[in-house]
Amino acid sequence: MAYSTRTRSALLDILESHKDTSISAEEVLDALRQRGLEVNRTTVYRNLERMVEDGSIHKFSSEDGKRAFYQLSEGTCSDHLHLQCSVCGKVEHLDCDFMKSFEEHVRREHGFSLNCKGSIIYGVCKACQGKS
């Protein structure tokens, strides 16, 4: 099957509507079907992987490595860490001033230069902590 611009456009639209969080391929597939687009699972995965390869989206793995989550790419992710909730899968970009001081500390005290691309620190987000 040819690379569908209609599918890609719909995928980008769904990811844009979830730009503050990550979304699984299954959730993308459900959202496409809710919009009346009958797309098979393989097509969704293939398109998501192509979008990862071309840099338009980021891919994050769950803590156990069994699920993948996708998020619209907004700038570079190689200069900050990522926080991912082990419960809901939400990914937060830790691109605050803390990163500058942390990176400087690591360089100065440990002689190590950071490359944060694909970095994930797992924990539980504030919303999921309150669901106990």
Confidence (pLDDT) at 82 = 83
Q: What is the pLDDT of residues 98-108, one digit of tens each?
A: 888 888 999 99
> What mean pLDDT do residues 74-91 have?
76
- Find the mean pLDDT for residues 33-52: 90
How would you class 37 by CB atoms within 10 Å of its CB: exposed for 0-12, middle for 13-18, buried for 19 or more? middle
Q: Which domains does the chain have, with CATH numbers?
A: 1-74 (1.10.10.10), 76-132 (3.30.1490.190)
Instruction: Say which residues have a Cβ less than 8 Å from residue 50's Cβ, sequence separation at least 6.
Output: 3, 8
CA separation, residue 118 to residues 62, 101, 114, 127 (Å): 12, 20, 12, 24
Average pLDDT over residues 36-42: 88
